[in-house]
Structure formats: C-alpha cells, structure tokens
Amino acid sequence: MRFLSVFLPRLATDRLLRRRRGVAPEAFALYARVKGAERLTAVDARAQKRGLAPGMAVADARARCPALALAEANPKADAALVTGLADWGRRFTPLAAPDPPDGLLLDVTGAAHLFGGEAALLGDIESRLRALGFTARAAIAPGPALARALARFSDTRLVAAQARQEELDRLAASFPIDALGLEAEALAGMRRAGLRDIGDLLERPRAPLAARFGAQALTRLDALTCRIRDPITPRFEAPAFIAERRFPDGLTRQEDLAATLTRLAADLCPMLERAGVGARRLEAVFYRVDGAVKRIAAGTSRPLRDPARLAALLAERLSAVAEEGLDTGYGFDVLQLAATEVESAAAPQTAFVAPPRGGGSDEDLGDLLDRLGARLGLRRVLRLHPEAAHLPEFAVAAVPAAFGAPLPHSEKCAESPMRPLRLFERPEPIEAIALFPDGPPLKFRWRRVLREIVAFEGPERIAAPWWGDAPQQFTRDYFHAQDKNGQLFWLFREGLYGRETDAPRWFVHGLS
Amino acid sequence: MLRCARNDDDFLEPLFAARRGGLSEIFSARPPDAPAAAAFAFAMALRAQAARGGGALVFIIEDMSAREFGLPYGRGLMAAGVDLSRVALVRVRRPREALWAMEEALKSPGCAAVVTEAFLDARLYDLAASRRLLLAARRGGALGVLAPQGAPAGRVSSAAELRVEIAAKSAPVPSSALPAARPPLSPLAPFLWRRRVLKARAGLLGAPGEIDPAQWRDIAFDPERVAFRHAFPERFPAEARDRPPVAAPSRRRA
C-alpha cells in the first residue's frame, strides 16, 4: 500500500493571496476573535520572517510590522478549499481524501507509475500546487499516518515500499509527539510526563502507556509505524467503471468536450458489457488546468450500454450546462467518465423480436425520457404509477422516469370511480355555502369568483387512514360539481359535522 | 339532399390518418375554460394514440400551468382509458423549455401524441417556432397538441394545421328555484365541449369555405369507443325517408 500525503502549511493565507496574483502585500495574516481578543490565526511566509506567528495579538503584530495586511479568518472557506483540492487530487488517483484542516491524503497504490514513478509524482504534485499558488509539501509512505507525519515533520519525502519495520521505527522515532494527531490534552499529558518524541513512546512498555493515555494513543502509534493497516476515507468511492483521457493542452471548445465524451463512452461500454451491466447513472468529471473541477451527471431510465445513446445523453447534459455557462477558463486537461450506478442488464436480443405495432417501442420512449431528463433535471420527467392507496392524492405516484418504468396496465386498476382529469398539488381552500352543514354545496367562492352549482354528484366519502400516525386527519366528502358556465370541480368537505368538527372546511381538489 | 349529421361524425378524422403527424392548437374561449381545453387536448391525444395503434403519450406542463389548473391526475386519465405505463409527465420551468421538450418528444418515434400546456406569448411562439414543431411532428409521425394558456386565440400567427377554440359546455340551469332539484351530472361531463374551428389547413377538414369560424358546435368524446362525435343536446329531426330530397320550388316559395 502506498499513500501520499500533501501538507499545505499556508492554506488559509494562500487561499486569499491566490486571488491577488502578483500584487502580494508586504506581510499578510488572518485574524479571528478569540475570547474577546483579536488574535492571528495564520500568517504568510513574509510575515513569519518578520517574527509574526499564529496566536499573537493583532495589536502586537501591528506594532511589530506596521505594513501588515489583515483579513478575517474563514474556517468554512478553508474546509471547502480542502474538499475542492481533494476533488482535484482525483486526477492522480480515484481514492483521494481531504485531510482537514490543511492537507490531502491520496491512496496512490499502483498509480504512481502512470506519472513516471513516485519521486516524479511527488515533484508533479508539488509543482502543480505551487503553480496554483499553494505552498505544499508531499510525501509517500506505506501508511497514511506515516506519510502525513513525513510531510509535516520531516525532510524525508519517500519511504520505500519494502522498508523493514526497524527502519520505519527509526524514522518515526524522530517525530515529535504532535505527529500522533491526538487531542491537545493528551499531548499535554505526554509532555508533562517528559515524553517529547515518538522515540520516547516506542521505548516505553505499552501497557502503562495505554493505561495512562488511552488505547487511542497506542492505535495512533501503531498506525504511525505502519504496524496496523489504516485505510483512508476517500471523498468518493472509486467507481468500478471509469474511462479517462488526458490532454497536454486544455480543451476549451464545447464541441471538443462533446467529442471526447463520445470517445470516453466508447471506452466505457466494453467494460460494462464485460461485466454484464448497464449504466443507470453517469458522471463526467472535467478537471480544469487551474485546479477547478466540474462535474455533470446524467441518469438513465434503464440500464444502458450503447455508446451512441450514452454519448447523446451526455451531449444533451453538456449543452444544458453550457447554456448556463460552463466556465472553461484555460481549458480542461483531464476528462473522466464513470458509471457511478449500474444495474445488471442482459445482452440485447436482436432480430427475433418483431417491433411492436405503431413503431414506437419502450426503447424509444426511454431514450426520449433520458434526453429530457438530462436537460430538464431528473425530477421533472415523471411516470405515473398507480398505487393501492385510497386517499386520492396518494392513489397515483409520480416517480422520476430514471427510477424505473411503471408496470404494464392491469385491469384491476382500471375500474376506479369517477375522478377528475386534473388534480391540484395541494387542495385549495374555498368558502362554500351548503343548505345543511353536511349537505352538498350550493355556491362557493374560488379565486374570488362566486360559482353557482347547477349540477352535482356525490358525496363520495373517503375516510382518513386510521392506521397512520396522523390522528388529526378528518373524513372527506367529495362532490363533483358543475357551475353555470359548465366548469367542473372536484370539491370536498373536510370533517364530519358534529362528529369530528363543528366548522367543516371546504376545498377544491381537482378540475376537469 | 337533406344533410343531417350522423351521430358519430368525427370531424377531426383526417387529422388522425395513420402516422401522418401534425400540429394543432387548442385555445380556451375564456380563461376559466382552460381545463376544458386541456381535457379536449387529452381527448385528441387519446384519439391519436388509438389511430396509431400504440405509442406513448407525453404531457408537458409548465409549472405555472400546474399551479393554475393542477397536474394531470393519473386516476382520472385511467378512467378515460389511458394506459399509464404509456404516459410520461414532463414538468418544465419556462415556456422556452416547454417548446424544446415538445420538439424533442415529437421527433421521437416512440410517441403517439404530445400535449403541451404552457403560457406562450407571441415573441416566443411564432411562425418559425411552430414550423419547427410541425416539421418535428412530420418526422416522428406524432400528433402535437399545444394548449397555449393566457394567449388570446387568433392573435398568434403559426404554422399549426388546426386551431380550435374550446369552451366548457354550460349545464342547463334547472327551472325550479329549489336547490334540491339540481340534476346529476351528465355522464360524459368532462368530455363535452363547445368548439369552433378558427383555422384549418386547406383540405384538412373538407373543402375551404366549409368551416365557419363563427359557428359554435357541441362536440363530445366517447372514451370507450375513442371517438369524437357531435353532441346534440336538443332534439333534431329524424331523417325523413318519405320526402323528396329537395322541396318543390312552389312549396319553397310558400
């Protein structure tokens, strides 16, 4: 196992300095209010040279360096930046994790040779981050904790994979106890006991250490010396089906991006076919030269592994994104296409199945719905599933087409009572006049217009579900009513007069 | 010859000739008639599906329309004989998206009919836009039914082949003042309309001049037989067999 850790010591100040390229101030620091006093939280390289350090009071820092530029610390933005950089790190390996507050962890097992070896990979990452405006140190080790400690506390950048345990122990022994990454109290306790570095801990017998500082300390110690396997939590699970293309120069034109997606789809489909699955959800990731990462996702209504169809879907999504403005900047140099969700799909049977009458097949409809969903959003392309629920609003579920097609028409569902053609998403309250409190409506006012009912049908009584956990629901009496102009309404009165409520309320639920 | 309309005179028949493809506009006579116009558009879609012998129905609804008049209700559609597994409901945010989605759906070979409800205005929906839709419908062989809301009929110039204005058929007011005397609903209630044809492409619905844009007629849709027919609420004379087809000139003068 090989892990790469990146340490960004000046992340907070770099975040702001990156914006003003070239015109860096004399000295720059961030401050925050701690218990009523303004104190520095991060300083840049020049400020550090002048003797400023985090924790110093702002007034003292100003006195020492009058030209100091200050900005308020923003831990949230820092955390977002670390997450964004972890996304950026996925250009090297799919297993990249943020290591808050100021680092990244990458699992580069078996990936380093793609970048010319581990030493070259370290150099590549550091120079790329430097070009993006970050101060960075990277290190590779057989365990993540060791790599993390190397990047932060050591000059060694690379530990060989076949290093023996004694060598690792010797290397770790020189780190200060901060490398364990424990809470401040535990570390202070260790210092009080005279333990300064990892070597002190390694020399001591383990049982008293565990008794005094907790089992956590020993776990960390074992992780640091690679005695236990300590996995990282990548920001995204690595998809099993992924295709990738890299370009020496960034792509900026939308046609180039679409053409690349087509080729990526052609690369992806054989993988899907070998595994006997089809893609239900696709994600294309664009890595911009300057570090930004854009993603577009598309869902399909059925398992799909036809390159042309996949490509058409992505092209649709791409042009939808481009309409809103795909900021190409200096161009995208790495493009990835992954099937993030797959479903098993049998090989298509061709030639023996006659196309259904009318020409249109389910395939065609599925294609159409995928294309519409890619552009409009998956939640806006719906299919209607009849449900066995007796409340009218739940009798039909509108399910996004990407989540499966409804079952074919069944006769049992067809014999439903008279229902309106249109239903409001939520019933609209009206004022109705009825001759009796539990009688049919005579007149009602809906949207400020008084309607006089000339014909009606009803009531149809629909009781509230007693098995649910909403005892406040009332029985409804539904009426079909027609007013003088011929408009048809589906009204209901909520609550049985005298039994459930003394003031039943009326609603319009549908029109037809 | 005494021309008497047959009871199942489907005046729209030429529109549904097999896999022809076309574009129709259904306007509501007054704003409150919009649900009736939409119901007529559903009926046309059903008829087109039957004529084609299959294929999917796609309903495209702008959010604004859904707020005003609600969404198509699955149970109501089922009662009208729609197979829900062949129905897709597409919700769009803006009229521009509605037109785009309609064009895509019309192009698809899987669709029998596409019904779009959106608030369109003349800047967006013009001759070019409607021509695009018509060509897409011709290519895919689907019937496009556009129910523009909020647009006064006749103000829009478009390439649509048929433009019909629909009003809800008003119910007969009971003579007695007693509320208890209110009659039950007509069984065909959601499928009864008054229509007038504002525009029909030459040759589509008979010879030019045969259609009187000012004439309102009652029309009904029979969901069981999936056919349009003229509705005759009032009595009409039975076809007389014992009379000469044309009255004698002398009698006519008298």
Average pLDDT over residues A130-157: 88
The least confident of A15-29, A342-356, A389-403, A417-431 is A342-356
Average pLDDT over residues B1-15: 52
Cβ within 8 Å, pair A484-B170: yes
Dump pLDDT digits (tens) for A349-383. 554 544 444 455 677 888 888 889 888 888 899 99
Average pLDDT over residues B127-131: 91
Q: Which of B40, B64, B71 to mutate to test the interface with A (most CBs of A within 10 A)?
A: B71
d(CA A512, CA A419): 9
d(CA A241, CA A267): 10
d(CA A161, CA A147): 12
Point out the residue among A357, A396, A407 whose CB comes nearest to the CB of B74. A396
Q: Which of B73, B114, B166, B182 to mutate to test the interface with A (most CBs of A within 10 A)?
A: B73
Q: Cβ distance A94 to A234 under 8 Å?
A: yes
On the question of pLDDT at B113 being above 90, the answer is yes
Task: Please report, for residues A7, A125, A360, A476, B54, the alpha-carbon distance to residue A85 in angstroms, rounded to integers and kept in the order given.
Answer: 12, 11, 47, 56, 52
Q: Cβ distance B131 to B146 under 8 Å?
A: no
Q: How far is B244 from chain A (nearest CA, A)?
A: 40
Average pLDDT over residues A92-119: 87
**Amino acid A429: pLDDT:** 92
Dump pLDDT digits (tens) for A69-96. 888 888 899 899 998 888 888 888 888 8
Chain centroid to CA A332: 21
In the structure encoding, which two tokens stand for residue A206, read together? 């383990």
Task: Please report, for residues A42, B81, B141, the alpha-carbon distance to residue A37 in angstroms, rounded to integers and kept in the order given.
Answer: 15, 74, 75
On the question of pLDDT at B90 being above 90, the answer is yes
Percent of chain A residues topping a pLDDT of 90: 10
**Amino acid B7: pLDDT:** 44
Nearest to A201 by CA among A140, A149, A159: A149
Task: Name the residue with higher pLDDT: B55 or B205.
Answer: B55
- pLDDT band, residue B4 (cuts 50/70/90): very low
On the question of pLDDT at B248 being above 60, the answer is no
**Amino acid B181: pLDDT:** 62
**Amino acid B178: pLDDT:** 56
Bridge partner residues of A450 (DSSP):
A445
Chain A CB contacts of B175 below 8 Å? none
Question: In sequence order, which residues have a C-beta less than 8 Å from that of residue B21 and are 6 or more positions away?
Answer: B106, B137, B138, B139, B140, B141, B142, B143
Work out the mean pLDDT of chain B and round it to a whole number: 79
Q: Which residues of A412-437 are buried (b: 16+ CB within 10 A; e: fewer)?
A: ebeebebbbbbbbeebeebebebeee
Cβ within 8 Å, pair A401-B87: no
Cβ within 8 Å, pair A360-B111: yes
Ranked by mean pLDDT, the top range of A179-188, B3-12, B56-65 is B56-65
Peptide bond into A386 cis (omega under 30): no
Say whether residue B42 is in contact with chain A using an 8 A CB cutoff: yes
**Amino acid A470: pLDDT:** 63
d(CA A100, CA A117): 27
**Amino acid B18: pLDDT:** 64
Secondary structure (3-state) at B129: helix
A-chain residue closest to B66, CA distance: A424
- pLDDT band, residue A110 (cuts 50/70/90): confident
Q: Cβ distance A419 to A392 under 8 Å?
A: yes
**Amino acid B135: pLDDT:** 93
**Amino acid B117: pLDDT:** 93
Secondary structure (3-state) at A157: coil
d(CA A235, CA A232): 9
Cβ within 8 Å, pair B87-A384: yes
On the question of pLDDT at A229 being above 90, the answer is no
Average pLDDT over residues A108-125: 88
Tally of CB atoms within 10 A around B195? 24
Q: Is A349 left (phi over 0), alpha (psi -120 to 50) or beta?
A: beta
Chain A CB contacts of B74 below 8 Å? 384-386, 395-396, 398
**Amino acid B188: pLDDT:** 73
Say whether residue A380 is in contact with chain B using an 8 A CB cutoff: yes
Nearest to A382 by CA among B178, B14, B66: B66
Q: Cβ distance A299 to A375 under 8 Å?
A: no
- pLDDT band, residue B244 (cuts 50/70/90): low
Dump pLDDT digits (tens) for A448-495. 899 988 888 878 888 887 776 666 678 899 999 998 888 899 999 988
Dihedral pair phi/psi, residue A292, rounded to 5°: -70, 150
Average pLDDT over residues B150-164: 77
**Amino acid A509: pLDDT:** 93
**Amino acid B245: pLDDT:** 53
**Amino acid B3: pLDDT:** 36
Task: Name the residue with higher pLDDT: B86 or B3.
Answer: B86
Prediction ipTM score = 0.83
B-chain residue closest to A397, CA distance: B74
Task: Name the residue with higher pLDDT: B245 or A380.
Answer: A380
Chain B CB contacts of A371 below 8 Å? 104
Q: How far is B170 from chain A (nearest CA, A)?
A: 4
**Amino acid B78: pLDDT:** 86
Question: In sequence order, which residues have a C-beta less than 8 Å from that of residue A380 and are 6 or more positions away?
Answer: A372, A373, B90, B91, B92, B93
Secondary structure (3-state) at A413: helix
- pLDDT band, residue B19 (cuts 50/70/90): low
**Amino acid B105: pLDDT:** 93
**Amino acid B234: pLDDT:** 47
**Amino acid A413: pLDDT:** 52
**Amino acid A218: pLDDT:** 86
Dump pLDDT digits (tens) for A204-218. 888 888 888 888 888
Task: Name the residue with higher pLDDT: A508 or A112.
Answer: A508
Say whether residue B78 is in contact with chain A using an 8 A CB cutoff: yes
Say whether residue B176 is in contact with chain A using an 8 A CB cutoff: no
What angle, rounded to 10 degrees, do the helices at A144-153 and A215-224 form?
A: 80
Work out the mean pLDDT of chain A and round it to a whole number: 84
Chain centroid to CA A382: 23
d(CA A362, CA A280): 16
DSSP string, B210-237: ---TT--EEEEEETTTTEEEE---S--P
Chain B CB contacts of A441 below 8 Å? none
Longest dimension (CA), chain B: 67
On the question of pLDDT at A507 being above 90, the answer is yes
On the question of pLDDT at A399 being above 80, the answer is yes
**Amino acid B72: pLDDT:** 92
On the question of pLDDT at A178 being above 60, the answer is yes
Dump pLDDT digits (tens) for A250-262. 888 888 888 999 9
**Amino acid A407: pLDDT:** 63
